[in-house]
Amino acid sequence: MKPTRKLRDLGQSLWLDNITRELLNGGTLKNYIDDLSVTGLTSNPTIFDTAIKNSAMYDQDIAQGASSAKSGEDLFFSLALADLTRAAELFQPVFDRTDGVDGWVSLEVSPLLARDTKSTLAAAIDLHRRAGKPNLFIKIPGTAEGLPAIEEAIFAGVPVNVTLLFSREQYVAAAEAYLRGVERRIAVGFNPAVASVASLFVSRWDVAVAGKVPAELTNRLGIAIGQRSFKAYRELLAAPRFQRAANSGARAQRLLWASTGTKDPKASDALYVKALAAPFTVNTMPEGTLKAFADHGEVDRVLEPDGGDCEAVLAGFAKAGIDIDALAARLQDEGASSFVKSWNDLMTRIDSKRVAIRKAS
């Protein structure tokens, strides 16, 4: 039995953190579903920028858009929705079999709206409507400005993948925004079963402190933050507040591990996958990490609901001079800025292709 199948049988969903037309057209994504137990997919501006840069498969659609009045942003969402609706169809059997728990794909709102709650909500509603697929998450950042948009999107019935979460506190804030949206639906008699995941970024913690801590703490910060957040997740699921909502038909917002590709070349290429195995969670992996884990990954235990040794490990980082709360805020801010840069690069890429196609025609 493949390690990916073992992980799935333990109760964790394996999602691919990538999408390209080559993956769709060549049948690779279908093979990952059939052979590697992949049950969902995530995307972001960087992924699409790389896909469009390295492929001619988007040129025809860009050429058609080049002769229209579409903005670069409108053209991008047309391209992305074309890919993601195809992927959503591939995952539809999983979505149906799990009654909407699994089988999701994700599309991000423009990161330029990250500080604008009203515009983020409007974009989320519009994109979900345009997709026309029940198993499409709209990604909204879990920043202070994003939290009201998350609550309003859930209240409006839009499934949300909360992104850019880096700490237990940021996760809890996102989970509470989700619950507020659900509770408001219950209060007015709407169906509260609106799906959501909360995406906690892992590996960037270890990149941020590389070379700044004792050797025994190397590559342990991201995992410890994951353990601490998992404890909060399990406590939330057991809390009377969520159980009251669940009794009215609400779904649990699943915890998702993001940024799980190992950045340290000296560490195991499946470091975060093995360490963060846990039932009723999602691990979205870069393609290389997925294939590495399928080839030689191991799963010998699952995360402990009480957080295991995370507090002792985190105390070690504090002793080494790492301010966890300040670093979490910095990582979220840097993540938001990075997404803006990727978005601007993507818009530039599309515009340059449009110009080149016009000149060639």
pLDDT, mean of residues 237-256: 98
35-48 exposure pattern, b = at least 16 Cβ within 10 A, e = fewer: ebbbbbbbbbbebb
Q: Are 153 and 121 in contact (CB under 8 A)?
A: yes
CATH number of 3-360: 3.20.20.70
Please report the pLDDT score of residue 260 as a whole number.
97
**Taking phi first (over 0 means left), then psi (-120 to 50 degrees means alpha), and beta for anything else, what does residue 190 get?**
beta
Taking the CB of residue 31, how many other CB atoms lie within 10 A of it? 12
Positions marked active-site: 139
Q: Which of 50-54, 176-180, 257-261 has the lowest mean pLDDT?
A: 50-54
Q: Tell me what percent of the residues of the chain surpass a pLDDT of 70.
A: 98
Q: What share of the chain is helix, strand, coil (3-state, %, to 5)?
A: 60, 10, 30
Please report the pLDDT score of residue 67 as a whole number.
62
Please report the pLDDT score of residue 150 as a whole number.
97
**pTM of the complete model:** 0.96
Please report the pLDDT score of residue 355 as a whole number.
78
Please report the pLDDT score of residue 68 as a whole number.
65
Residue-wise pLDDT for 279-305, tens only, equals: 999 999 999 999 999 999 999 899 999
Map residue 107 onto helix, strand or coil. Answer: strand
User: What is the Cα–Cα distance from 195 to 253, expressed in whole angstroms?
Assistant: 7
Please report the pLDDT score of residue 87 as a whole number.
98
Please report the pLDDT score of residue 361 as a whole number.
64
Residue-wise pLDDT for 58-88, tens only, equals: 888 888 766 665 788 888 999 999 999 999 9
Map residue 224 onto helix, strand or coil. Answer: helix
User: What is the Cα–Cα distance from 93 to 29, expressed in whole angstroms?
Assistant: 14
**Taking phi first (over 0 means left), then psi (-120 to 50 degrees means alpha), and beta for anything else, what does residue 91 get?**
alpha
pLDDT, mean of residues 50-60: 86
Q: Which of 28-42, 55-69, 168-182 has the lowest mean pLDDT?
A: 55-69
Q: Are 81 and 18 in contact (CB under 8 A)?
A: no
Across all residues in the chain, what is the average pLDDT? 94
Taking the CB of residue 102, how many other CB atoms lie within 10 A of it? 20
Q: Are 213 and 156 in contact (CB under 8 A)?
A: no
Please report the pLDDT score of residue 353 as a whole number.
81
